[in-house]
């Protein structure tokens, strides 16, 4: 516990000893405030749409947040300190993850100013917004866990960042890709099935199943509920599980690497 805390504090401090912490905060505040201001000018203050817009920027913001976590530690050789002191790998991963997540929460918290302004100007702040916040934070949690995992795979933070960006763009395209894959499956089945073993309905169903399966693993599709103000346990459990899964994978990557170093 004490060890996790020590790592957490060091990591969080490190964000503000390099430009990264400030750069992230600056980008976030600038873009979100701009969005808010533009809305305000049109007498249309909608924090939910602002959050959705910012979520669209996760694919660049989160990789900057997570690229260093393990890659830099490996490059500079400081990881040897963590791995040879009486600290467990899960403690290291959790400490670093929570530090990144905390900076993310600080970024998110800056939008509360916009909420306050909205309230002051007698705009609407309702339960839908709360749902949007929950969705925003939970999906941030997932993205950060994935980013941390990618950082543990390499000793080059730039590569870690690029791979994360590509994967996150992949997520955003995933819904489109999902229906494409579905249609593709149907087409292939139709072409292969020259003996007419399958009915057209079955072929279409197979395509739909593929689309559904891809959407099922896509965290983005789980967020729709939140922004419509519906709190259901399933998506919350799902997003937290994905987060834990990637933290677990990070632990595995780190141990496996030291254990089988070729």
Partner 1 sequence: MIEITNLSKHYGDIVAVDDVSFRVEKGEILGFLGPNGAGKTTTMNILTGYISASSGVVTIDGHDILEEPLEAKRRIGYLPEAPPLYVDMTVMEYLSFVADLKGVPRRSRAAEIAEAMRLVRITDVAHRLIGNLSKGYRQRVGIAQALLGHPEVLVLDEPTVGLDPKQIIEIRNTIRDLGKDHTIILSSHILPEVSAICDRVVIINRGRIVALDDVATLNDRSRATREMELTVEGPAREIVQRLRVVPGIIDATVLREKDGIVTLTYETEPDTDVRRQVFYEMARNTWPILDTHGLEATLEDVFLQVTGNVQTPTGGREA
Does 258 engage in binding with partner 1 (CB under 8 A)? yes
**Of the candidate residues 74, 84, 133, 136, the single one contacting partner 1 (CB under 8 A):** 84
Does 212 engage in binding with partner 1 (CB under 8 A)? no
Q: Which is nearer to partner 1, 196 or 261 (CB)?
A: 261
Angle at 148 between CA 75 and CA 70, to 5 degrees: 20
**Of the candidate residues 37, 38, 57, 80, the single one contacting partner 1 (CB under 8 A):** 80
Residues 190, 90: Cα–Cα separation, whole Å: 49
The CA–CA distances, whole Å, from 231 to 32, 134, 139, 237 equal 25, 9, 15, 11
Does 88 engage in binding with partner 1 (CB under 8 A)? yes
Does 6 engage in binding with partner 1 (CB under 8 A)? yes
Question: Under rule CB under 8 A, which residues in 100-119 are in contact with partner 1?
Answer: none
Total number of residues shown for the chain: 262
Does 81 engage in binding with partner 1 (CB under 8 A)? yes
| Residue 201 CB neighbour total at 10 angstroms | 8
DSSP classification of residue 220? G
Contact (CB, 8 A) for 175 and 218: yes
Q: Which is nearer to partner 1, 92 or 214 (CB)?
A: 92
Q: Which is nearer to partner 1, 59 or 97 (CB)?
A: 97
Q: Which is nearer to partner 1, 4 or 164 (CB)?
A: 4
Contact (CB, 8 A) for 228 and 131: yes
- Contact residues for partner 1, defined by CB under 8 A: 2-3, 5-7, 10, 14, 17-18, 76-88, 258-262
């Amino acid at each position: 516990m004490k060890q996790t805390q020590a790592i957490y504090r060091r990591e969080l401090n490190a964000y503000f000893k390099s430009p990264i912490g400030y750069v992230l905060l600056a980008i976030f505040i600038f873009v979100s405030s701009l969005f808010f201001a533009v809305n305000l000018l049109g007498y249309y203050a909608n924090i939910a749409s602002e959050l959705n817009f910012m979520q669209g920027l996760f694919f660049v913001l989160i990789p900057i947040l997570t690229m260093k976590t393990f890659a830099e530690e490996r490059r500079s050789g400081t990881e040897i300190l963590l791995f040879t002191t009486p600290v467990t790998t899960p403690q290291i991963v959790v400490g670093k993850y929570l530090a990144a997540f905390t900076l993310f929460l600080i970024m998110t918290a800056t939008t509360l100013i916009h909420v306050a302004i909205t309230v002051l100007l007698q705009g609407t702040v309702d339960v839908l917004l709360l749902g949007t916040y929950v969705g925003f934070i939970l999906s941030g949690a997932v993205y950060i866990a994935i980013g941390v995992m990618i950082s543990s795979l390499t000793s080059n933070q730039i590569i870690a960042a690029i791979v994360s960006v590509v994967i996150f763009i992949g997520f955003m395209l995933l819904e489109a890709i999902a229906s494409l894959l579905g249609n593709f499956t149907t087409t292939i089945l139709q072409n292969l099935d020259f003996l007419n073993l399958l009915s057209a309905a079955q072929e279409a169903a197979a395509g739909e199943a593929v689309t559904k399966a891809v959407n099922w693993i896509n965290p983005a599709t789980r967020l729709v509920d939140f922004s419509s103000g519906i709190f259901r346990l399933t998506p919350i459990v799902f997003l937290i599980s994905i987060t834990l899964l990637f933290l677990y994978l990070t632990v595995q990557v780190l141990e496996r690497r030291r254990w089988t170093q070729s």
